[in-house]
Amino acid sequence: MVKHNNEVPNQHFHKKWASSSRGPLKVITWFDQPAKKQIRRQKRAAKAAAVAPRPVARLRPVVHCPTQKHCAKVRLGRGFSLAELKAAKIPVPLAKTIGISVDSRRTNKSAESLAANVARLTEYKAKLVLFPKKGTKAKKGDTADAAARAAATQCADKVIMAPAKAAAAPVEFVAVTEEMNNFKAYYALREDRNEKKLAGLREKAKKAAAEGKK
């Protein structure tokens, strides 16, 4: 029997530990996490070797987050718009073969975002090394310099050309003056509110007083 102000015992010892127990609920263990981690690493290495010398990831545009609350932040988008690829002089079929993600549904809402992503494409295009599809003879569009092709390495970064984080705005410190100490913010706001609220009535009263004097 429970004495004093103690909690009523409510322990639950009817866990369904095995598949032979009643009900679908089972206790799941995670003892294979180290092995799964190693398997994922091996799969990433095999995928990188399969696509070599192509980059492991695709180049993605830098876009602004939606809504007024988050629009100041930037993140990576799904793909470059058709207008951005056209401005960078990269055909859409070619972009899909050289590691550039394309989103045909996306549109540009401002000239700034268009210019930023075009500059991103231009920089990527300048760093790109294109190998011939067959043999070693370079054709139109391929990198002609054989030494540059030999020195090229595969980009294994998860994010290609990751956007730089914006630096925090510097904090400016000023000395507190006597005028700041004597300033009454509440009374100033109240006065401004009354001024705005009674502007029409006061203007009407001035006109009435001016007409009465005439």
CA distance 63 to 82: 15
pLDDT of residue 105 exceeding 80, the answer is yes
Give the mean pLDDT of 67-75. Answer: 91
pLDDT of residue 193 exceeding 70, the answer is yes
64: how many CB neighbours lie within 10 A of its CB?
A: 15
Of the chain, the percentage scoring pLDDT greater than 90 comes to: 58
Give the mean pLDDT of 26-44. Answer: 90
Task: Identify whether the C-beta of residue 183 lies closer than 8 Å to the C-beta of residue 81.
Answer: no
Task: Identify whether the C-beta of residue 161 lies closer than 8 Å to the C-beta of residue 128.
Answer: no
pLDDT of residue 133 exceeding 90, the answer is no
The CA dihedral of 121, 127, 131, 137, to the nearest 10 degrees, is: 110
pLDDT of residue 18 exceeding 80, the answer is no
Positive or negative torsion for Cα 25, 30, 32, 36: positive
Burial of 91 (0-12, 13-18, 19+ CB in 10 A): exposed
- Residue (of 81, 106, 108, 114) closest to 95 by Cα position: 81
What is the predicted pLDDT for the residue at 147? 85
Confidence of residue 119 (pLDDT cuts 50, 70, 90): very high
Q: What is the DSSP string of 116-141?
A: HHHHHHHHHHHH--PPPSSSS---TT
Confidence of residue 21 (pLDDT cuts 50, 70, 90): low
Q: What DSSP designation does 102 have?
A: B
